[in-house]
Chain A
Amino acid sequence: MSKLGQAKRIIFLKTADGQLFEVDEPVAMEFEIVKSFFDENEDAADDTVVPLPNVSAEPLAGIIEFCKAHVEFRANGAAGKDEVKKFNAEYIKEKSNEQLKELILAANYLNIKEMLDFLTETIANRLKNKSVEYVRAFFGIENDFTPQEEEAVRKEYEWAFEGVDED
Chain B
Amino acid sequence: MDRMSELPDFIIHKIMSHLSPKKVAQTSILSKRWNYLQTSFPILEFNQNHFMRKGRLTGTGGVLHEKRFVKFVDVTLGRFCRLEYCMEKFRLKVCLFNLKISSRIDEWIRLAVEKEVKEFDISPCRIYNAYRDAVYTLPQTIFSAKLLTTLRLSSCKIEQPSDTLMLCSLKSLTLKGVCINEQMVQKFTSECPLLEDLLICSCWGLKHLRVSKALKLKFIQFHNPSDKLVSVEIIAPSLQVCWLVVNYSSRLCIDMAGCTHLKELHVNGGSFTDQDFHQLILKFPFLEHLYVYKSMLLERIIISSDRLKRLKIRSCPGLKAIHLDTPNLISFSYYLNWIPIAVTNAPYSYWKVSIRPYSDLDTSWFMNLTKFLGVANQIEGLFLSLTLKKISFNLEGVRESFASFRCQVPTLNLSVNVCAGVPFSDYRALLDGLLWSCCPWTLHVTATGEDEHKFLQWLYEELRNRCVNCCNSHNIKCWRHYLKDVKILSTLPMEDWRRKNRKLLNRNDDDLRDVWPINQHVIMSFNLDWVQ
Contact = CB atoms under 8 A, between A and B. Distances in A.
A110 B32 CA distance: 28
Contact of B19 (A124, A143, A154, A158): A124
B44 to A, nearest CB: 14
Interface string B416-432: 00000000000000000
Interface string A107-150: 01000000011001101110110001001101111111100001
A116 B7 contact: no
Interface stretch (A16-24, A72-80, A159-167): A159-167
A67 interface: no
A167 to B, nearest CB: 5
Contact of A141 (B17, B26, B30, B47): B30
A144 to B, nearest CB: 5
A20 to B, nearest CB: 24
Interface in B1-39: 1-8, 11, 14-20, 22-23, 25-35
Given A120-B15, A164-B53, A140 B31 contact: no
A165 to B, nearest CB: 7
A108 B35 contact: no
Given A124-B19, A164-B52, A157 B5 contact: no
A28 interface: no
A101 interface: yes
B50 interface: yes
B28 A153 contact: yes
A34 interface: no
B72 interface: yes
A104 interface: yes
Contact of A108 (B1, B7, B26): B7
A132 B26 contact: yes
Nearest to B69: A159
Contact of A139 (B4, B17, B51, B93): B4
B464 interface: no
Given A132-B26, A150-B29, A167-B93, A127 B19 contact: yes
A43 interface: no
Contacts, number: 106
Tell me the dominant secondary structure on chain B's binding face. Answer: helix
A157 B28 contact: yes
Contacts of B6: 105
Interface in B70-110: 72, 75, 93
A121 B20 contact: no
A136 B30 contact: yes
B84 to A, nearest CB: 23
Interface string B41-76: 000000101111110000000000000100010010
Contacts of A167: 47, 49-50, 93
B11 A135 contact: no
B72 A159 contact: yes
Given A105-B7, A159-B25, A164-B53, A120 B18 contact: yes
A108 B8 contact: yes
Nearest to B22: A160
Contacts of B51: 159, 164
B26 A160 contact: yes
Contact of A156 (B14, B53, B75): B75
A153 B238 CA distance: 52
Contacts of A144: 31-32
B49 A160 contact: no
A73 to B, nearest CB: 21
Contacts of A141: 2, 5, 30-31, 33-34
Contacts of A135: 26-27, 30
A127 B4 contact: no
A161 to B, nearest CB: 7
A132 B29 contact: yes
Contacts of A121: 18
A7 to B, nearest CB: 37
A140 B53 contact: no
A160 B19 contact: no
B121 to A, nearest CB: 13
Contacts of A125: 18
Point out which of A121, A160, A164 has the most chain B C-beta atoms below 10 A from its C-beta. A160
A21 B432 CA distance: 70
B284 to A, nearest CB: 27
Closest 4 CB pairs of A and B: A140-B2, A124-B18, A160-B25, A120-B14
18 contacts: A104-B7, A108-B7, A108-B8, A120-B15, A120-B18, A121-B18, A124-B17, A124-B19, A139-B4, A139-B30, A141-B34, A142-B31, A143-B30, A144-B32, A145-B31, A154-B29, A159-B51, A164-B50
Given A128-B20, A128-B23, 13 more contacts: A101-B4, A108-B7, A120-B17, A124-B16, A138-B4, A140-B3, A141-B2, A143-B30, A158-B68, A159-B22, A160-B50, A166-B22, A167-B47
Interface of B: 1-8, 11, 14-20, 22-23, 25-35, 47, 49-54, 68, 72, 75, 93
